[in-house]
Amino acid sequence: MEYAVVRIGGKQYKVSKGDIIDVDKQDMKVNDQVVLDDVLLFVSDGKTKIGNPRVSDVKIKAKVLIQKKGKKIRVAKFKAKVRYRRVMGFRSQLTSLEVISIAS
């Protein structure tokens, strides 16, 4: 099994071929092909390459599937004894990526 750890938007994701991952919104259009070259770790056939800080000869190709919103979370403010209550909702903007290939 072949997989890699890649950094996208300041967060790290473990990906392998065919995976669909939701990342924080990226400035990309639907059906664009992108190359993710910020690979931190690569494992293939039991052999591990660890980057210092990144693995330079590994590139990951991904396809942008959709731009969407995440699940709604509720944020509440409360102050005791003064009847102050506020509830707000928040939905994060996400980009779905499908990993097409991992080339080393």
Of the candidates 24, 38, 17, the residue with the CA atom closest to the CA atom of residue 67: 24
> What percent of the chain is modeled with pLDDT above 90?
96
Q: Which two tokens stand for residue 22?
A: 């939701």
Whether 4 shows a pLDDT value over 90: the answer reads yes
User: pLDDT digit string (tens) for 53-99?
Assistant: 999 999 999 999 999 999 999 999 999 999 999 999 999 999 999 99
Q: What's the pLDDT score for residue 8?
A: 96
Which residues constitute the domain of residue 88?
A: 3-103
- Give the integer Cα–Cα distance in Å for 32 and 55: 24
Q: Where are the beta strands (DSSP E) in 1-104?
A: 3-8, 11-15, 20-24, 33-36, 39-44, 47-50, 59-69, 73-79, 84-90, 93-103
pTM score of the predicted model: 0.85
Domains held by the chain: number: 1
Tally of CB atoms within 10 A around 89: 8
